[in-house]
Amino acid sequence: MIIRQSIGSVLRSLMAIALVAVLVLGSGLTARATTQQELDEITAQWQTSAHGLNDVNCASCHQNKETKEFIETPNHESCQSCHEQSVDTFLLSKHGIRLLEEKSPLTPAMARLPMKHEAMDQQMNCNACHNVHSANTVEASVDACLTCHNDNHSLNYQNSKHAELFADSKELPRPGAGAVSCATCHLPREVDDRLETPIVYVNHNNTYNLKPQDRMVGDVCMNCHGIEYSYNSIFDPELVEANFDRSPTLELQTFDLMKAAEERRTGNTSN
Amino acid sequence: MARILGRRLGKWVSLRTGIILAVIILLLWVSAAFALDQKQVFLPGETSEGHHIFEASCASCHEGFKPVSNETCTRCHQAELTDDVHGTKKFRDPRWAEYLERVDVLTCTACHNEHVHMFDRGVNLQPELCMACHEELTTTQLKSHEGFAADGCWTAGCHNYHDHRTISTGFLRQNIGEPDMLPVQVLPDRVVTTSLDKAPTPDLTQEFLGGGS
């Protein structure tokens, strides 16, 4: 018992030291003010952004509405007050689930997939992918992903036909309807038609359509590709790894079965 | 006699000391795991692909030692179950009661288990699970499926247990024969409108420069 108590007290002192260290470091960080130059750059980005031109001012995010207290680094709850669907879906994703569970944000160091060494401590919150001052979602659609992801599928994107389609959007504030970025498939735009005026929002739950893959086929691939092409591509792990750099060679038996059933049903054997 | 007794006593004492030491070590180990927030040590096995990033957050799924409830799962997975073809809509209908007795499909944990070996869909399934109800189909209406592996339903990429909107025979029949590239290729477009021609004057400045509010 004595040993347990003394270990307990040692642990408590260690935790107290850690807490003091965090507070000292933390206060050091909050004390660091933005320079005038940084502020000018941020202001310039904001002035032409969708935020600036919709009267979303600094205080909208950087000030507590009730206490008027200054908030240096607003969190996802601040974004959620306007971007409800985006944040709600983000919190159900692998990227956001730790925040939902009130844990520290996810970092690439916790991932099982290969991640870039220099990004291991990057904390997954809205700011990790979005520059909220420019509100430019072109960067969030590909560059942000490749800051951390280092697996073959991600790295091969740049050589794909999809990346060619994305090139036209590089100078825009958000990807055009013909662009295919990482986000097109993994954070797809969805139409919320439950509303009186249906709106297109971005489903930030990147795990929703990942497995089983047929959900991605229906929600994403079939916006552009035929069903057989889509299924024969996405069920071929090699082609997925190569990020679809060629036409599919797989021939899923399910389509043969369907064709045979159709022939039996219609009595037509011509096709 | 006294020597034998002494030896026995010695044995008993050392056994007792051993047990006490073991209990102390166990207690220390458990308390250290809590104090250092290293609750992974209590995990009974490998956590699945989707859950491992919050595997030390036991309370996310477990309430004490109670079994994991459907509510726990749907708190995060509701979207995936919106059009559940094996859901309550079907199985609250008494016509299907007999099948519900074979597999309690309205309870998530009847099929899904965490902390055990996982297949690539993040679930632990008995390979022949579908056959509990669908076996007779393969010998009657679906003779074309005769001889297929029992786990092929879901490993071959043909069927989706919960959501078969885009893989049902009706959907395949409707879309089969489409060209590789559809004649019209459209993704939903995001329309962002602006209400001002010019951004207003920034309402906080000194605060960012460290001047306080």
B147 touches chain A (CB under 8 A): no
Give the chain A residue nearest B54 (alpha carbons).
A98
Which pLDDT score is estimated for B5? 67
3-state class (DSSP) for residue A63: strand
Which pLDDT score is estimated for A271? 46
Tell me which residues of chain B, numbers 186 to 205, contact chain A at a CB-CB cutoff of 8 Å: 186-200, 202-205
Give the start-to-end residue ranges of the domains of chain B.
Answer: 1-36, 37-175
Which residues of chain B neighbour A92 with C-beta distances below 8 Å?
A: 76, 79
| Backbone torsions φ then ψ of B181, nearest 5 degrees | -110, 125
* Helix residue spans in chain A (DSSP H): 2-31, 36-47, 58-62, 76-80, 84-90, 97-100, 126-129, 137-141, 143-148, 152-155, 161-166, 182-186, 214-219, 227-234, 237-241, 253-266
Size of interface A-B (CB pairs under 8 A): 209
pLDDT tens digits, one per residue of A98-119: 999 999 999 999 999 999 999 9
CA-to-CA dists, residue B133 to B86, B100, B101, B138, B155, angstroms? 12, 9, 10, 11, 18
Confidence bin at A26 (pLDDT 50/70/90)? very low
B157 touches chain A (CB under 8 A): yes
- Crossing angle of helices A2-31/B2-35, nearest 10°? 10
Which pLDDT score is estimated for A5? 56
Which pLDDT score is estimated for A6? 56
Take residue A70 and report the two structure tokens written for it. Answer: 């200054």
How confident is the model over A9-20, as a mean pLDDT? 57
Percent above pLDDT 90 for chain B: 30
Q: Report CB contact under 8 Å: B169, A255.
A: no
Which pLDDT score is estimated for A106? 97
Q: Would you say residue A212 has pLDDT above 70?
A: yes
Which residues of chain B neighbour A190 with C-beta distances below 8 Å?
A: 188
pLDDT tens digits, one per residue of A135-189: 999 999 999 999 999 999 999 999 999 999 999 888 888 898 889 999 999 999 9
Cα distance from B208 to chain A (closest Cα, Å)? 6
Q: Which of A31-35, A128-132, A182-186, A231-235 is predicted with the least confidence, judged by mean pLDDT? A: A31-35
Q: Which residues face A225 on adjacent strands?
A: B181
Which residues of chain B neighbour A202 with C-beta distances below 8 Å?
A: 190
When CB atoms are compared, the residue of A31, A53, A101 closest to B194 is A53
Cα distance from A127 to chain B (closest Cα, Å)? 17
Tell me which residues of chain B, numbers 44 to 63, contact chain A at a CB-CB cutoff of 8 Å: 49-50, 52-54, 57, 60
Q: Report CB contact under 8 Å: A92, B212.
A: no
- Distance of alpha carbon B187 from alpha carbon B61, whole angstroms: 37
The enclosing H or E element of B30 equals: helix B2-35
Q: Report CB contact under 8 Å: B188, A191.
A: yes
Give the chain A residue nearest B36 (alpha carbons).
A11
Q: Would you say residue A269 has pLDDT above 70?
A: no
Which pLDDT score is estimated for A24? 45
ipTM of the complex: 0.82
Q: Report CB contact under 8 Å: A225, B194.
A: no
Q: What is the DSSP letter of A234?
A: H
Q: Report CB contact under 8 Å: A200, B191.
A: yes
Q: Report CB contact under 8 Å: B176, A55.
A: no
For residues A189 and A74, the answer to whether their CB atoms sit within 8 Å is no
pTM for this prediction:
0.84
Q: Would you say residue A14 has pLDDT above 70?
A: no
Confidence bin at A1 (pLDDT 50/70/90)? very low
Q: Report CB contact under 8 Å: B80, A184.
A: no
Which pLDDT score is estimated for A32? 59
Cα distance from B3 to chain A (closest Cα, Å)? 33
Cα distance from B94 to chain A (closest Cα, Å)? 30
**A193 CB contacts (<8 Å, ≥6 apart)?**
none
Which pLDDT score is estimated for A13? 59
Q: Would you say residue A20 has pLDDT above 60?
A: no
When CB atoms are compared, the residue of A15, A31, A70 closest to B213 is A70
Which residues of chain A neighbour B208 with C-beta distances below 8 Å?
A: 33-34, 39, 58, 62
Give the start-to-end residue ranges of the domains of chain A.
Answer: 51-207, 211-271
Cα distance from A23 to chain B (closest Cα, Å)? 18
pLDDT tens digits, one per residue of B58-111: 899 998 888 899 999 999 998 889 889 999 989 999 999 999 999 999 999 888
Q: Report CB contact under 8 Å: B199, A48.
A: yes
Positions in chain B short of pLDDT 70: 1-3, 5-6, 9, 118-124, 211-213
Give the chain B residue nearest A67 (alpha carbons).
B213
How confident is the model over A33-59, as a mean pLDDT? 93
Cα A185–Cα A141–Cα B193 angle in degrees, nearest 5: 100
